[in-house]
Structure 1
Amino acid sequence: MDDQNTIRANPPSSATSTSSSEMPTDPQPSTSSTQTLTDLQPITSSFKVLTRQHELINSKRVAAKENLLLQATKMLRTSKKKFPAAQIGDTVRIQVPDVDRGRTDPRNVLAIVVGIQNSDFNKLANKNGTLKELFTGNQFEIFKEKLISIDEISAQEISLREAASAIQ
């Protein structure tokens, strides 16, 4: 009987281990919660690295945009020097494209600026008529001398091809 009382008073060690594993009585955090906190630290540090990379990328984009605008203004300045704006009454030389020119037609046509639209597009005319299309400053060369006067031009609208073939 004494053996039974001792058994009841002191439960077997296997029973104690199962009850302690089922219900932790430790006030300290378990290893799984500690693991979660340490897992968050690399995530936040990698988040900081990504945030810095995004800031660096955005600053590079802003710098690239500013440099692109500077390059565009430089190109416009160079273009305005190379192709000055024509004034009404200026004599210009237009190169006739090979497609619009016959074998015996001249390579160039002389014309005069008779109108300017939107400060970039020029209406041109010569003795045979007014050209149908508008021309920009890079499509013709301005002469210093006035070879054609406004009084000599015709009001009839013609194409560049007709103007080139009519010169003969």
Structure 2
Amino acid sequence: MKNSAYHSGIKRTPYKAMFGCDHKVGLTSSCLPSEVIERLQTEDDLLALISELTEDEVSAHTSPTADTTASTNTAPSTLPTGQSPQPTPEFTSPTHTHEESPPLSLSPLTRREREITQERKRAREAQLSQTKRMVKRSRLDSKAGEVGDNDAVSIPLVDRGRGDARNILGVIIDRDENYLYTIAVKSGIIKTKYSRNQFDLCPQKLLTQSDVKQDEQVSLRQALKSTATRGQGFLKCGCGTGKKRCSTNRCNCYKAKRRCNSRCHNSLTCANK
């Protein structure tokens, strides 16, 4: 059902884009007339119809044809006595010196390959057109950022703890031809480049380019750790039960000099909370 449904992006069904023709389901998509299909009740009726059509095609190819060449060559001569037959003048076209031969018909396999190539080309053109519309709409909805603008980069849940900030403030320091932005924070330049929909522009300038560090590259998690919230990230412990739980270096949180959080053990108490 997915391959036979019309797709607005490629302007055709995925089946047609792949195989170059519409999908065929049942006898209604065959070349049989509708009145013949209505009379079919069982598979035996269908087999009988196919055998009948096959016999008709064979008889049509083997039927005798009129011998027209023999009748033209055996025409009696009615010339008077003593007269010799005149030579038949050759016909010459005043405009064409020779007749062009008609182009050879393509084989079914070649026609099928051409249809597949054309459908895939049209599907690709439709996708490119859809991409241009999406980019144009995105640029209208989201204002492009300029170098020096402040922005708030969203921090994924896996990189922050429950008490950490959800965004980190940065400054745009570069934008390439593909509208990918390079953002710098106080601890350095973030390694990942961001598209416009991955951050929000701040209406006010709280940071300038002189307030951020531009001689070192850091990851987003490292940038979060340098802030006052000290991002938790993936760090957690799975200590078992006991009075001295989370009080030795066997506990990951205790060893890293961090407090246990809700990701370690939600309702159980420990010595490192």
* TM class by smaller structure: 0.5 to 0.7
Q: Does residue 38 of structure 1 match 2:61?
A: yes
> In structure 2, which of residues 205, 208, 213 is the aligned counterpart of residue 149 of structure 1?
208
Which residues of structure 1 form unaligned runs of 5+?
A: 1-34, 40-46
Distance of 2:168 and 2:155 partners within structure 1: 7
- How far the C-alpha of 1:57 sits from its partner, in A, is 6.3
- Give the alignment of 1:52-131 within 5 angstroms: 60-61=119-120, 63-131=122-190
- How far the C-alpha of 1:37 sits from its partner, in A, is 8.1
Counterpart residue identity of residue 155, structure 1? Q
Counterpart residue identity of residue 205, structure 2? K
From the superposition, tell whether residues 54 and 130 of structure 1 become closer, same or farther in structure 2 (CA, over 3 Å). Answer: closer
- How far the C-alpha of 1:89 sits from its partner, in A, is 0.2
CA contact (8 A) 1:106 1:165 kept: no
- How far the C-alpha of 1:110 sits from its partner, in A, is 0.7
Task: Provide Cα deviations, 1:51-110, integer angstroms capped at 9, x if missing partner.
Answer: 888777666555444433322211121222233332110111100011111333211001
Q: Which consecutive segments of 4 or more residues in structure 1 shift more than 3 A?
A: 50-66
- How far the C-alpha of 1:117 sits from its partner, in A, is 3.3
Q: Which protein, 1 or 2, shows the higher relative CO under an 8 Å CA cutoff with sep ≥ 6? A: 1
The structure carrying a bigger strand percent of its residues is 1
SS of residue paired to 2:168? strand
Distance of 2:160 and 2:206 partners within structure 1: 23
- How far the C-alpha of 1:164 sits from its partner, in A, is 1.8
Percent identity between the two aligned chains: 29
Q: Does residue 140 of structure 1 match 2:199?
A: yes
- How far the C-alpha of 1:132 sits from its partner, in A, is 2.6
The alignment's TM-score, normalised by the length of structure 1, stands at: 0.59
Q: Which moved more, 1:71-80 or 1:57-66?
A: 57-66
Distance of 2:130 and 2:195 partners within structure 1: 22
CA contact (8 A) 1:92 1:141 kept: yes
CA contact (8 A) 1:92 1:110 kept: yes
From the superposition, tell whether residues 82 and 127 of structure 1 become closer, same or farther in structure 2 (CA, over 3 Å). Answer: same
Counterpart residue identity of residue 159, structure 1? S
In the alignment, what sits opposite 1:43? none
From the superposition, tell whether residues 166 and 61 of structure 1 become closer, same or farther in structure 2 (CA, over 3 Å). Answer: closer
Distance of 2:113 and 2:178 partners within structure 1: 43
From the superposition, tell whether residues 156 and 105 of structure 1 become closer, same or farther in structure 2 (CA, over 3 Å). Answer: farther
| Bigger Rg over Cα | 1
The alignment's TM-score, normalised by the length of structure 2, stands at: 0.39
Task: Provide Cα deviations, 1:6-64, integer angstroms capped at 9, x if missing partner.
Answer: xxxxxxxxxxxxxxxxxxxxxxxxxxxxx79826xxxxxxx89x588877766655544
In the alignment, what sits opposite 1:28? none
SS of residue paired to 2:223? helix
Counterpart residue identity of residue 164, structure 1? L
In the alignment, what sits opposite 1:160? 220
**How large is the Cα RMSD of the aligned pairs?**
3.3
From the superposition, tell whether residues 148 and 63 of structure 1 become closer, same or farther in structure 2 (CA, over 3 Å). Answer: same
